[in-house]
Amino acid sequence: ISDPGLVAMEQLATRREECRICGSRQLSRFLDLGLSPLANRFLQQDQLDDEEPRFRLDVFLCADCSLVQLLEIVDPAFLFRDYIYVSGTSDTMRAHFSSFADEVTRRFAFQSDQLVVEVASNDGTFLSNFEGRDLRLLGVEPAVNIAEIATERGIETINEFFSEDVGERIRTEYGPAACILATNVFAHLDDMNGFVRGLLEALDHEGIFIFENSYVRDMLDHLEFDSVYHEHLSYFSVTALSALFARHGMEIFDVQHQPVHGGSLRVFVKRQGASHAVTDAPARFCAEEKDSGLCDFETYEAFATRVYELRSSLVDLLNRLRSEGKRIVAYGSSAKGNTLLNFMEIGSDLVAYLVDKSPLKQGTFSPGMHLPVLPVERLVEDRPDYALILAWNFTDEIVSQQQDYIEAGGRFIVPLPTPHIIPESR
């Protein structure tokens, strides 16, 4: 109690005792990633000596609705205050957003002047794909700095967290929405039921909610434990999502599996009774999830065992290369990368520095391990022997952009699901 740092940290997090969808207390922990700093809280030089807040990173399964979730809730005002992920920076994501917007407008044929809202609209990258289609566009984005970027590019943006109140405000000030979009935000919510009530406030009777989020089945199949960080409170199956929407008189009428972010779900939701036809996909996903053990605790325990084995094999590989005198850096200072580095305690003795394309991150230090973040150009100038790809979901893009580094003798290490080296031999 006498340590002011500890008191401050306790105020920054709360511990949930009940499942955030169904309220059950039948929650069992299967994965322990330790005490971890916030994966997107990059540090400035003058912050390196300050005590860094760390929080438990434990993952639980709800026995009743099958939702995989964190129970440690970091105060969103702290977690997202200086949020640094700007979606416009990746070629892969730009192309993905463009084709997503095309599909939505083709399939649903919105009428002139209808309202399309994006929740957690980031810098407006995704919404900007709907410009020139005779729709009204509105973003909702809590991060002050990023909402400003969106507004400057001409995307009207409410600087708030989406909630029941904001849903009501949208209906009052802009009229009911034909479509609400959300990419990679649904997992950030603690109060999911409140969020869905907000959707019901804002959506027209025929209005649809379309969102994308990581799929827990991909996490299990490809050992993507590094998608676990404090921002991601939930890891979705269609089974758990169906339970959530059913509580509110809504239903999933289509689901698609997308390759983006290591495997995502694109989910289409409507009010029960709205006219959009229900495809056979939601029932098919639920049946496959049941068959593959996604509702069984044993499946998650086996996953955790593989995660601990991966830690040993990757750290062994890095140690071996270092003992051979090789120089190793890391590529892509993504949040998932920081989960991996902190869980495996990969610090400057193994990896000299990180390189990243984002100018906002360059010059900062990674959370926890405090690796300096340098521009990507450094790779070709400095020619380290190996670059560990932390943003492994962009491996193809990174390798094709870094041919100069490879031709100069550089090699990449891909950590998941089994550590391997590109190119394999020379």
Residue 216 within binding range of Zn ion, rule CB under 5 A: no
Which of 66, 402 has the CB closer to Zn ion? 66
Q: CB of residue 382 vs Zn ion: minimum separation in angstroms?
A: 49
Each residue of 68-81: b (16+ CB within 10 Å) or e? Answer: bbbbbbbeeebbbe
Which of 114, 234 has the CB closer to Zn ion? 234
Residue 64 within binding range of Zn ion, rule CB under 5 A: yes
Q: CB of residue 69 vs Zn ion: minimum separation in angstroms?
A: 8
303: burial class by Cβ within 10 Å (0-12, 13-18, 19+)?
A: buried
Which of 62, 170 has the CB closer to Zn ion? 62
The SS3 of residue 205 is: strand
Point out which span in 17-25, 29-37, 164-172, 416-424 binds Zn ion (CB under 5 A): 17-25
Q: Are 350 and 328 in contact (CB under 8 A)?
A: yes
Q: CB of residue 366 vs Zn ion: minimum separation in angstroms?
A: 34
Which of 35, 246 has the CB closer to Zn ion? 246
Q: Are 120 and 182 in contact (CB under 8 A)?
A: yes
Residue 24 within binding range of Zn ion, rule CB under 5 A: yes
Residue 190 within binding range of Zn ion, rule CB under 5 A: no
Point out which span in 41-49, 66-74, 110-118, 207-215 binds Zn ion (CB under 5 A): 66-74
293 in the Ramachandran plot: left (φ > 0), alpha (ψ -120 to 50) or beta? Answer: left
Query: Both ends of the chain: CA-CA distance in Å?
Result: 57
Q: CB of residue 240 vs Zn ion: minimum separation in angstroms?
A: 7
Point out which span in 63-71, 115-123, 343-351, 394-402 binds Zn ion (CB under 5 A): 63-71
Which of 226, 289 has the CB closer to Zn ion? 289
399: burial class by Cβ within 10 Å (0-12, 13-18, 19+)?
A: middle
Run of H or E residues at 403: helix 403-407
- DSSP state at residue 285: H
| Residue in the block written with tokens 């850096």 | 329
Residue 267 within binding range of Zn ion, rule CB under 5 A: no
Point out which span in 64-72, 127-135, 224-232, 407-415 binds Zn ion (CB under 5 A): 64-72
d(CA 74, CA 52): 14
Residue 22 within binding range of Zn ion, rule CB under 5 A: yes
Point out which span in 59-67, 154-162, 278-286, 315-323 binds Zn ion (CB under 5 A): 59-67
**Binding residue for Zn ion (CB under 5 A) from 31, 62, 196, 286?**
62
Which of 166, 241 has the CB closer to Zn ion? 241
Q: Which of 286, 279, 221 is nearest to 253 (CA)?
A: 279
Residue 19 within binding range of Zn ion, rule CB under 5 A: yes
The SS3 of residue 215 is: strand
Which of 64, 148 has the CB closer to Zn ion? 64
**Binding residue for Zn ion (CB under 5 A) from 33, 39, 61, 65?**
65
| # of chain residues touching Zn ion (CB under 5 A) | 8
d(CA 32, CA 303): 12
Q: Are 289 and 237 in contact (CB under 8 A)?
A: yes
Residue 44 within binding range of Zn ion, rule CB under 5 A: no
Binding site for Zn ion (CB under 5 A): 19, 21-22, 24, 62, 64-65, 67
